[in-house]
């Protein structure tokens, strides 16, 4: 007669062995994943330091093979497409863009990139046709009803991520339209037709100001809400051309980012319109545009527009004349340094102690001046450790404040914001050493 206890022991031993094998397989699988993930990140660091396009191409291809997530595969494949484009191998770029769409999805981002490739190939008609497909559809923003809001709250466990995604989808659609229209316009050789095309910008996503205010109100009412737009939809390849965010959208600076792009576009429109039609006609059309597009979160992106509109006016804040404006460098982008006081540090902000609680444009810190066009970094402050920091700031009302700070920590966030070169030229004109000092 068989011993039932012995049979039971064999059964337990068998289960233990099976369990042990499963654990070993899981750990082995995890170790492989960890090794691949580590290799992927090593390769991405390596490619950022590699100036040679062909070598970088091989690194991206290896990174794609070692990618352990959908987003990592996106980034690697995006890098491959971008490099083929930089090398002028547009057929390969198209081919890999097709594979990108097959693996992930077709979207406004991929349509814009396809149109850009057509443009670089000299296929202007096909590029414009593709851009028009992007511009044909304007996303309509709809506040979710009570049931939808409750469902979203359940889905994101109260984080607000689902609600925020509704805003992000609308804002990114607006940015895509802006970029598509900008690229398309520069493919139109006739200057008058090009400006007519650019005028369409002011009719794009007509809800933008209302949605922006709604978003601000939502963030005030739900201060603990958080959410980052899925990085998969704004991968590296698309951001290269859209001028979007480098990782994910920062919910704290979203509105500022949107309006800076809007007013940069408007500034370039004003410059080109003036070049074609002159001051009086430009001033008239800008009056009509500003009547319906006046909202902004920061005033400095509009400084050049406001200065232009107030030329020869008795209450003008800027001292420029029309001849001054005509002498400004009109093309290209540069940057200004924006300082924002923060309470996130262990010590109180030196700026807040001085009564500066809002963001300001930095004009000077000791021997660093905005006219040098060099980045302002923490090293620019630490080099004066133990010494007084004489800081000159430009506020949103176009006036300067001078601070003399003796502490070594300013307690500010440093941001380098992209602006049209003509705006920089305006500040260079109005805020020379002599004028700032006085």
Both 353 and 429 in one domain: the answer is yes
**pLDDT tens readout for residues 148-189:** 555 555 554 454 566 777 887 888 888 888 889 999 998 999
Q: Which residue has the higher pLDDT, 40 or 279?
A: 279
pLDDT at position 434? 46
Task: Report whether pLDDT(20) > 80.
Answer: no
% of the chain with per-residue pLDDT over 70: 79
Which residue is associated with the tokens 């990085």?
231
State the virtual CA torsion across 22, 27, 28, 32 in degrees, nearest 10.
140
Task: Report whether pLDDT(16) > 90.
Answer: no
User: Can you tell me the mean pLDDT for 64-86?
Assistant: 84
Task: Report whether pLDDT(405) > 70.
Answer: yes
Report the relative pairing of strands 360-365 and 368-369 from DSSP bridges.
Answer: antiparallel
Exposure letters 97-121 (e unless 16+ CB within 10 A, then b):
beebeeebeeebbbbbbbbbbbbee
Task: Report whether pLDDT(240) > 50.
Answer: no
Average pLDDT taken over every residue of the chain: 81
Both 81 and 114 in one domain: the answer is no
Both 217 and 181 in one domain: the answer is yes
What is the helix, strand, coil percentage profile of the chain, to 5?
Answer: 60, 10, 30
pLDDT at position 402? 93
Tell me the CATH number at 360: 2.30.42.10
CA of 308: how far to CAs of 61, 278, 303, 311, 436, in Å?
50, 12, 9, 5, 21
pLDDT at position 29? 54
Q: Which residue has the higher pLDDT, 393 or 24?
A: 393
Q: Which residue has the higher pLDDT, 150 or 283?
A: 283
Least confident of 169-173, 360-364, 399-403: 169-173
Both 123 and 88 in one domain: the answer is no
Global pTM?
A: 0.80
pLDDT at position 26? 56
187 lies in some domain: yes
pLDDT at position 243? 41
pLDDT at position 47? 74
CB 208 within 8 A of CB 199: no
Both 370 and 411 in one domain: the answer is yes
pLDDT at position 10? 56
Both 156 and 247 in one domain: the answer is yes
Which residue is associated with the tokens 């077709």?
106
Report the relative pairing of strands 333-341 and 412-420 from DSSP bridges.
Answer: antiparallel
**pLDDT tens readout for residues 336-350:** 999 999 887 777 888
User: Can you tell me the mean pLDDT for 364-368?
Assistant: 90
Q: Which of 104, 133, 168 is the last residue of a domain?
A: 104
pLDDT at position 437? 47
Both 91 and 143 in one domain: the answer is no
The confidence band for 17, taking pLDDT boundaries of 50, 70 and 90, is low
CA of 329: how far to CAs of 186, 272, 317, 357, 435, in Å?
19, 12, 21, 33, 21
Both 141 and 96 in one domain: the answer is no
Domain count of the chain? 3
Both 387 and 433 in one domain: the answer is yes
293 lies in some domain: no
Both 153 and 234 in one domain: the answer is yes
120: containing domain = 108-252
Q: Which residue has the higher pLDDT, 51 or 118?
A: 118
User: Can you tell me the mean pLDDT for 346-374?
Assistant: 89
User: Can you tell me the mean pLDDT for 401-417?
Assistant: 89
Least confident of 41-45, 155-159, 275-279, 358-362: 155-159
Both 99 and 119 in one domain: the answer is no
**pLDDT tens readout for residues 114-154:** 999 999 999 999 999 999 999 987 777 776 655 555 555 55
Angle between helices 254-277 and 421-430 (to 10 degrees): 80
Both 89 and 119 in one domain: the answer is no
Q: Which of 104, 121, 153 is the last residue of a domain?
A: 104
pLDDT at position 13? 60
pLDDT at position 4? 56
pLDDT at position 312? 87
């Amino acid at each position: 007669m068989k011993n039932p206890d012995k049979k039971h022991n064999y059964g337990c031993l068998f289960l233990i062995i099976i369990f042990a094998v499963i654990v070993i397989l899981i750990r082995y699988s995890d170790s492989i994943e960890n090794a691949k993930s580590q290799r992927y990140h090593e390769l991405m660091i390596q490619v950022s330091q590699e100036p040679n396009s062909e070598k970088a191409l091989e690194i991206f291809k290896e990174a794609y093979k070692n990618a352990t997530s959908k987003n990592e595969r996106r980034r690697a494949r995006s890098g491959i497409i971008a490099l083929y484009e930089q090398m002028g191998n547009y057929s390969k770029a198209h081919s890999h863009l097709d594979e990108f769409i097959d693996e992930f999805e077709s979207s406004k981002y991929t349509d814009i990139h396809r149109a850009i490739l057509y443009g670089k190939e000299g296929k202007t008609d096909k590029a414009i046709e593709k851009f028009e497909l992007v511009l044909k559809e304007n996303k309509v923003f709809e506040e979710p009803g009570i049931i939808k809001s409750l469902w979203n709250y359940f889905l994101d466990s109260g984080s607000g991520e689902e609600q925020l995604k509704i805003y992000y989808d609308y804002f990114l659609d607006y940015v895509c339209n802006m970029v598509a229209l900008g690229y398309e316009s520069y493919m139109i050789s006739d200057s008058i037709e090009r400006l007519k095309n650019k005028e369409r910008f002011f009719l794009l996503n007509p809800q933008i100001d209302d949605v922006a205010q709604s978003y601000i109100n939502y963030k005030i009412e739900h201060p603990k809400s958080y959410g980052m737009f899925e990085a998969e939809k704004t991968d590296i390849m698309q951001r290269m051309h859209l001028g979007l965010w480098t990782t994910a959208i920062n919910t704290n600076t979203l509105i500022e980012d949107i309006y800076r792009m809007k007013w940069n576009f408007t500034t370039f429109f004003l410059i080109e319109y003036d070049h074609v039609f002159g001051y009086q006609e430009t001033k008239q059309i800008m009056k009509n545009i500003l009547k319906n597009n006046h909202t902004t979160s920061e005033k400095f992106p509009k400084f050049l527009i406001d200065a232009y509109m107030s030329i020869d006016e008795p209450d003008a804040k800027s001292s420029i004349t029309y001849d001054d404006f005509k002498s400004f460098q009109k093309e290209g982008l540069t940057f200004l340094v924006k300082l924002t006081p923060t309470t996130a540090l262990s010590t109180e902000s030196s700026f807040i102690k001085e009564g500066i609680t809002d963001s300001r444009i930095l004009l000077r810190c000791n021997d660093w001046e905005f006219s040098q066009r060099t980045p302002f970094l923490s090293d620019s402050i630490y080099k004066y450790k133990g010494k007084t920091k004489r800081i000159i700031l430009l506020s949103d009302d176009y006036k300067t404040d001078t601070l003399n700070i003796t502490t070594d920590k300013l307690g500010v966030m440093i941001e380098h914001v992209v602006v049209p070169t003509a705006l920089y030229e305006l500040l260079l004109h109005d805020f020379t050493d002599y004028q700032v000092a006085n």
